[in-house]
Structure formats: C-alpha cells, structure tokens
C-alpha cells in the first residue's frame, strides 16, 4: 500500500504497529516516466498497464472503485494528470 507522504505519516506509523508494510510516497513528486505529471499519475498508469488483459473481474473492480477519475485530463504538454489541481 502506498500512502501519500504529505499527510500520511501518522497512518503509516499506525500501520507499523499492526505489522503492515505500507510505504510513504510523495504523490506530487517527480515521476520516473516523463509522460506522467507526477508520481500519482505514474502509479495509476502502472496499475492500468497491470490490469490490461486480466480476467479477474473482482480484482479489477476492487482496484478501480477507489481510484481517482479514470480518464486523464487533457494537458497541452501531453502528460498524464489524474485530477486538475484545485485552487
């Protein structure tokens, strides 16, 4: 499980007491893929690629019911962005 490092440090600390192996990730951090705006978009793209061709409907439904908006926003630079930044 990946938890946003911006607000999730307490959640991960609680998880450690329950022997969970949760990882802090800066969701707004730099993506290793230049086609993704940030780490959050990168993780969603990797999940999408992993789900392609799978036939486990229950697993797919589980992974997609808690997902952010499924279609990326159109950006002029062509990068994947999951949700528009709110101001």
Average pLDDT of the chain to the nearest whole number: 79
Candidates 75, 52, 76; CA nearest to 63 is 52
- Mean pLDDT over 52-68 rounds to 63
Q: What is the pLDDT of residues 22-57, one digit of tens each?
A: 999 999 999 999 989 899 889 888 887 887 777 666
- pLDDT for res 70: 46
CA torsion 87→39→62→69, rounded to 10°? Answer: 30
At residue 19 the predicted structure's pLDDT band, cuts being 50, 70 and 90, is: very high
Q: Which 3 state secondary structure label does DSSP give 50?
A: helix
């Amino acid at each position: 499980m990946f938890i946003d490092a911006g607000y999730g440090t307490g959640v991960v600390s609680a998880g450690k007491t329950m022997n969970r192996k949760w990882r802090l990730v800066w969701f707004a951090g730099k993506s290793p893929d230049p086609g993704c705006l940030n780490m959050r978009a990168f993780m969603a793209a990797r999940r999408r690629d992993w789900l392609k061709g799978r036939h486990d409907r229950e697993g797919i439904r589980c992974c997609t019911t808690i997902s952010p908006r499924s279609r990326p926003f159109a950006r002029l630079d062509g990068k994947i962005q999951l949700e528009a930044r709110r101001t």
